[in-house]
Amino acid sequence: MAESRVNSWVGPARRIGSDLHLELSGPGGRRAALIRALREAVRSGRLAPGTRLPPYRSLAADLGFARNTVADAYAELVAEGWLTARQGSGTRVATGVPSLASGRGDSAGPRVPKAAPARARGPRHDLRQGTPDASAFPRTAWLASYRRALQRAPHEVFGPGDPAGRIELREALAEYLARARGVRTDPGRIVICSGFAHALRLLFGGGVLRGPLAVEAYGLGFHREVLAAAGVRTVPLPLDEHGARVERLGRERAVLLTPAHQFPTGGPLHPERRAAVVDWARARGGLVLEDDYDGEFRYDRKPVGAVQGLDPERVIHLGSVSKSLSPAVRLGWMVLPERYAGAVIAAKGEREGWASVLDQLCLADFVASGSYDRHVRRMRQRYRGRRDRLVAALAGHAPHIGVTGVAAGLHAVLRLPPGTEASAVKAAAWQGVALDGLAAFRHPETDMPVSDGLVVGYATPSEHAYGPALEALCRALPPP
């Protein structure tokens, strides 16, 4: 019997497409051939568990078979355990059926599955650092900006993009960064990218800059991995209550800092050290890379301006909207010394291959219309309230636990007694809380003394989930 390609209907639960390929061949007549073909389709994984099969009348019509032939084939496969049939739900592929993909396929029919091992549930409470409250994304204002941007967009927008980024966005950012962050620049020295990691890849992977690169002794490991992949050796700078110990800088070509709010330990770089690191760059012919990852969010202190404002020719200012808006909006920027702008654009290539031009136009309108300022002010109040609730919960339930880095940003560091960090992270996991220990951010080559702590992000949970998250966190903290 020749193989058949059957057009079939499938219900909404799991679709198998408009075609159901069945190899109808072998001895025993049509019924036996259909049973073998369906069995093989299930065993091979082409029909996944839960897939709804066509009604037997429809399949019979497509195959040119008698209805009873298809009905009998379905009934036998149900009896063997390959299929299930329920009134109102149709005929479906049974769950727990072995397949070749699982390495357990055979021709003897399905085995009765053993009880599945208990699967660890995902965290109920996400207190990891790094992401804003996704439920607070300004959908209405963003949509309005997108509509305006599309309506005003010139036809050239829908062609190849400018690797420097749309001029509308660079102009809007130049005005905003000067006003809000004290950055001194013009649109010609701004290059749009898709985020901080992309900026690092362009600067170092693109051959614009070379190592060795000094970095803070505590920082995001992913960034060190990006640099290592580009062949850059990183040299850790110790930290204290005033930020990075920049007097320890030596023969490095550049230094990467988070001066507005050290990540993750918290606190701004002391003004004397800000001036000192710029003096070092001038004397060495080096560069300061300024990661301004959450500079907009400050609560109990005066605004801290960008280091770039001290010397625009010795500082590369790097920012993005991943904390202020969402990491889903893949847009960031580099504010470059004039001598590097052309090299970075050359590293990107002739056509923009990363940041969506339409998203750039939308963000440009979002900033220029004042929507970005309004959103940041609203979120600053919300996150300050979250911060206050965290501090109050600790004071009430774990007064022996110190908390630092709370004057700004979207996370805090809980200082733990020596030797308790690992057990606290494990206890948090048992409570369904996802968070990071301070050790996860430690540079492997630093000689700083080990300090136990938990890095608690208070921005990620939605408003209704934040209270239960704090209660679970407090249950996981070590006793006095």
pLDDT digits (tens, 9 = 90+) for 361-377: 999 999 999 999 999 99
Q: What percentage of the chain reaches a pLDDT higher than 90?
A: 57
pLDDT tens, position by position, 184-227: 999 999 999 999 999 999 999 888 999 899 999 999 888 999 99
CATH architecture of structural domain 4-102: Orthogonal Bundle (1.10)
| Contact residues for 235 (Cβ-Cβ < 8 A; gap 6+) | 212, 213, 214, 215, 250, 252, 445
Are the C-beta atoms of residues 454 and 416 closer than 8 Å to each other? yes
Reported as a pLDDT band with limits 50, 70 and 90, residue 352 is low
Q: Which two tokens stand for residue 15?
A: 């679709």
Distance CA(210)–CA(284), nearest Å, equals: 14
pLDDT at site 275 = 96
CATH architecture of structural domain 125-131+374-476: Alpha-Beta Complex (3.90)
Reported as a pLDDT band with limits 50, 70 and 90, residue 17 is very low
Say yes or no: do domains 4-102 and 136-373 share a fold. Answer: no
Mean pLDDT score across all residues of the chain? 86
pLDDT over 80 at 3, yes or no:
no
Q: Which two tokens stand for residue 241?
A: 């209550």
Phi-psi region of 130 (alpha: psi -120 to 50; beta: other; left: phi over 0): left
Reported as a pLDDT band with limits 50, 70 and 90, residue 167 is very high
Give the least confident one: 52-56, 80-84, 299-303: 299-303
**CATH, domain range 136-373:** 3.40.640.10
pTM for the complete prediction? 0.74
Where are the strands (E) in 292-374, listed by range? 315-320, 332-335
Q: Where are the domains of the chain?
A: 4-102, 125-131+374-476, 136-373
pLDDT tens, position by position, 94-131: 886 655 554 444 444 554 444 433 334 557 889 999 88
pLDDT at site 5 = 43
pLDDT over 90 at 63, yes or no:
no
pLDDT over 50 at 12, yes or no:
no
DSSP codes, 7-69: E----SSS---SEEEE---SSSHHHHHHHHHHHHHHHTTSS-TTPBPPPHHHHHHHHT--HHH
